[in-house]
Structure formats: structure tokens, C-alpha cells
Chains A and B, each alone.
Chain A
Amino acid sequence: DTEVTQTPKHLVMGMTNKKSLKCEQHMGHRAMYWYKQKAKKPPELMFVYSYEKLSINESVPSRFSPECPNSSLLNLHLHALQPEDSALYLCASSQEPVNEQFFGPGTRLTVL
């Protein structure tokens, strides 16, 4: 299995909602990433997990909360988001943090 899967594909939420994005990989990769991508812009790194430990938090607002329950699974918990948080949220994994990254198809998030 050489895929990174993400669910849901689309999500619409209000500013007071709590939701979670899910990412899964079964390639035995030890590094997992969350990116945010606005339209016609490059992906921006949000979080990096290496061996299930949070290694990088790029000054992301606390309304985004990552979680890595095990080496195959990565969640992004969302709470009290703003309309400007609407974007494509991409998950990626790599064998080690230095290797090429495999990206999932993303979750298209709309905050009303």
C-alpha cells in the first residue's frame, strides 16, 4: 500500500464547531506532516511528527491541534476556526524526515 488517505474529502463547518481531519498511511513511514494550502498558493507546513512525537509547530494558532495516536495515523482537531482558515489541508508522510514526502489528496475545508 503506497497511499496516504485523508478523510473527509470535503468539510463545511461553522465557526463554533469542533471537527477533526484524519490521515492514514500504511507504508511504515515514521514522519508525518500537516500542510495548509490556499488557492493558487504553495503548501505551507503546519506540523511535523517524527516517530509519533511532535517535532515542529510552525506557530500555528491553537485552534488547530494535531494528534498522532500511532505511527500510521495523524489527526488534526479543529475548533473555533475563522473563515480565513478555509483551505485545502494536506497530509504527507515520509520514511524519515529527510526523505521524499508522499501526499494525500487533501481535505477541502470551508469555514462559514
Chain B
Amino acid sequence: LAKTTQPISMDSYEGQEVNITCSHNNIATNDYITWYQQFPSQGPRFIIQGYKTKVTNEVASLFIPADRKSSTLSLPRVSLSDTAVYYCLVGDILTGGFKTIFGAGTRLFVKA
């Protein structure tokens, strides 16, 4: 299983773009990259998932370089309500659910 490394914490201000990078040097060919968001005392919430290049949805973008050894979650124009822990996960798309391993997570604190 590919191990992930993320910054422990990040600070930002409202309205800024936030980029959180995750390293996964031993990512396997069948592995997808998934990001979850978690607020205190709540369950994690799926944000985005991708395999290569760029994926965008209504809340975030995910950038994955050609070597796939890292990925960057981009949150455009953050607000105070984006203060949360963000987890990067790497897993086989075919069997990933059977071995879901959350990384340590990045605590994002958005200030006014």
C-alpha cells in the first residue's frame, strides 16, 4: 500500500486559494488518489478523486503530475467554514475499499 505524507497543518485567510500537497512515492499503477474533508466530531466527507492530470468538481481541483508521486488538492477562495482536516488516500480502485487507510491528515485553519 502506498504511504502518504501531508503537511501537518496549514493556515490561510478567507478568499485565498489553498493548495495542499500529498506525497505518495510508491504509488502503484492501479492506485487512485482520493481526498476527504473532516470537521470536528463529524464523519469524513468525500471531496474528489483522480488518477492522473487534473480533475475538477464544484468544490475543488486535484492536480496529479505525470509521475503520480504526489498530488495537490486545490481549494479556491476558502472561507472560514473550510477549516477542517483534509486527508489524502491512495488505493487500488479495484480493491481499495477493502483496505482504506487514511493518512495523518492536514489541519487547515482559515482566518478572517
CB of B97 within 8 A of CB of A96, answer yes
Please, what's the 1-or-0 string for B7-30, where 1 marks a CB less than 8 Å from any CB in chain A?
A: 000000000000000000000000
Beta-carbon nearest neighbor of B103 in chain A: A42
Which range holds the interface residue count of chain A? 20 to 34
Q: Which residues of A contact B42 (CB under 8 A)?
A: 103, 105-106
Task: Decide if the interface of chain A is mainly helix, strand, loop or mixed.
Answer: strand
Which range holds the interface residue count of chain B? 20 to 34
Q: Which residues of B contact A50 (CB under 8 A)?
A: 97-98
Measured in the bound complex, the distance between the Cα atoms of B49 and A98 in whole Å is 11
Measured in the bound complex, the distance between the Cα atoms of B89 and A99 in whole Å is 13
Q: Which residues of B contact A31 (CB under 8 A)?
A: 97
Measured in the bound complex, the distance between the Cα atoms of B93 and A4 in whole Å is 22
Given contact pairs A42-B104, A42-B105, A43-B102, A94 touches B43 in the complex (Cβ within 8 A) = no
B59 within 8 Å of A by Cβ? no
Interface residues of B in 83-103 (CB under 8 A from A): 87, 93-103
Measured in the bound complex, the distance between the Cα atoms of B100 and A43 in whole Å is 9
